[in-house]
Structure 1
């Protein structure tokens, strides 16, 4: 499903079969490249994946468990990536595997977006993986992974809080704002708890509301006067932010 329709892949919906080795290398010259890791050859994928599945099922045989859920999911993620069984999509499936592992151990869905957190810290994530490619001690990897889970959990709580704030905000102020203002405020909330990077500018308001600069100025002043937005800076540096304290 992940690679359906791809014409650049030989093996879709099955383990890789190509003879070329899967390597993580550095250096551009063929005679100067350094191989940091080489995955098992394609002809061993059935054997490697059977071992992985047997291990995964054995580790999760007792269902709910909190004693080592982070260790199990972190190792499962690393183990799957080490095998690299498919031509493409291994990272996405590995991230789904770790969320599956967490959900089994918790006995309920793990309502955290680990993929989003990993993507937002991609450099550190790949560096941590790379540092453990050639050794069996995964302690540092598991510490890094555990912090990623904690960060993802905190991010989820912030997302939920932002949704609650949004609902309260519009319940309270929907009748005080016009259609243009509603469109822009909803767009700001869509950015999530981080909001617009650098704040909302009058230019952004004009573009989102599809209105003139003079109308945008009046609308923004009205929102500030009603304490729905607060502003910082002056002239071209002026930026606007939702006043969530007032919205609560």
Structure 2
């Protein structure tokens, strides 16, 4: 049967708009809810939340590809680029590169897509790699570009992309389509449909030696931001990473032909879940800020360190709850001191206690949405 780009109708993607229309309407309604929620957030809180959201997206879009980066380094780089107060740490190239790409996406989302856009992003995220032949340009190697898993002796080919020699033409066509279907373009498309198609279309071309997934997800976010007329700050990579296998399975199921209703439905539902996650995270962030305000000046250094570690887990919480052993490990203190500190945190209203004896666990005292 071959791959999607080998079909006679490539890149004539087909889909059932009647299936997608209800999802498009939900996207617009939820977008309005998010925009309304942000109006009640102070500028300082907006800046801090922006750093938290963008850093998480940078970390998660890298983690989807198996690259684990340092959160503090990414946040440090983001603060500097946004002109916010930060430390003077030396940020390694990997964290600096993905942070630069995310800031560029945030600041230039409205600009038309050009070859230089993706070249710059590729250069940012690949600048430290010495195993890439072409950085900041399309691949040129003659061997097939394949997505493969399994052992070297028994590989499974999940996808084979168009040959390198066709990259300039393929990307000319892609960029023209992307700009033509933007709001204000000659043939604007529904928001979720365009973003989902942009991602699948781009990764099907697979124009770079590496980094295609990260750039493909950035293009989906660029598409959504153009549709809304402002940076989205939605937890797209965060949401995809939580169900990474389903994401890769859907990509593989969608690269054999150009009828892509199933892919677009999956992607639209993922964006809607990402919006819900963003709203939950905004409410969590504001509740956390209020909790910290009530505790200012009342905590010792160990307690502050433990609460900060718990808060970093965000809406998912500290897995299984915080135990006394966890507290000892985080703060490097004794068991007796940990017990006193935790009892004090419960008394002050910072933590909620559940369970008894060895099953005792502690959770941040931040109400869940709807409680």
Same fold (TM > 0.5): yes
Moved more, 45-54 or 5-14: 5-14
In 1, Cα distance between the equivalents of 2:188 and 2:174? 21
Q: What does residue 213 of structure 1 align with?
A: 335
Matches within 5 A, 1:135-174: 135-174=257-296
Partner of 1:73: 195
How far apart are the structure 1 equivalents of 2:201 and 2:135? 21
Q: How much has 1:226 moved relative to structure 2?
A: 3.5
Give the aligned partner of residue 187 of structure 1. 309
Aligned ranges 1:112-123 → 2 under 5 Å:
112-123=234-245
Distance, in Å, in 1 between the alignment partners of 2:150 and 2:350 is: 54
2:170 — aligned with what?
48
C-alpha separation between the residues in 1 aligned to 2:226 and 2:233? 12
Match of 2:143 in 1: 20
Q: TM-score, normalised by structure 2?
A: 0.61
Q: Is 2:182 the counterpart of 1:57?
A: no
Contact 2:181 2:194 in 1 (8 A): yes
How many pairs were matched up? 244
Query: What's the CA shift for 1:224?
Result: 2.3
8 Å CA contact retained: 1:66, 1:105:
no
- Structure 2 residue runs without a partner (length 5+): 1-123
What is the SS of the residue equivalent to 1:2?
helix
Structure 1 residues 5 and 175, CA, compared in 2 at 3 Å: closer, same or farther?
closer
Whether the 8 Å contact between 2:284 and 2:366 is mirrored in structure 1 is no
SS of the equivalent of 2:362 reads: strand
Please list the CA deviations of residues 160-184 of structure 1 after superposition, one character each: whole Å capped at 9, or x if unmatched: 1111111111212324433322221
- Structure with higher Rg: it is 1
More relative contact order in 1 or in 2 (CA 8 Å, sep 6+)? 2
Using the TM superposition, give the Cα deviation of residue 210 of structure 1 relative to its aligned residue in structure 2, in angstroms.
Answer: 2.5
Q: 1:7 aligns with which of 115, 119, 130?
A: 130
How far 1:233 moved relative to its partner? 2.0
Instruction: Give the TM-score taking structure 1 as reference length.
Output: 0.90
- Equivalent-residue separation in structure 1 for 2:323 and 2:287 (angstroms): 22
Contact 1:80 1:94 in 2 (8 A): yes
- Aligned-pair CA distance for 1:24: 3.6
**Counterpart Cα distance in 1 of 2:138 and 2:237:** 23
| RMSD of aligned residue pairs (Cα, Å) | 2.3
For 1:109-148, what per-residue CA distance to the aligned partner results, in whole angstroms no more than 9, with x for missing partners? 1111212221221100010011111111110101100111
Cα separation, 2, equivalents of 1:23 and 1:179: 51
Residue in 2 aligned with 1:178?
300
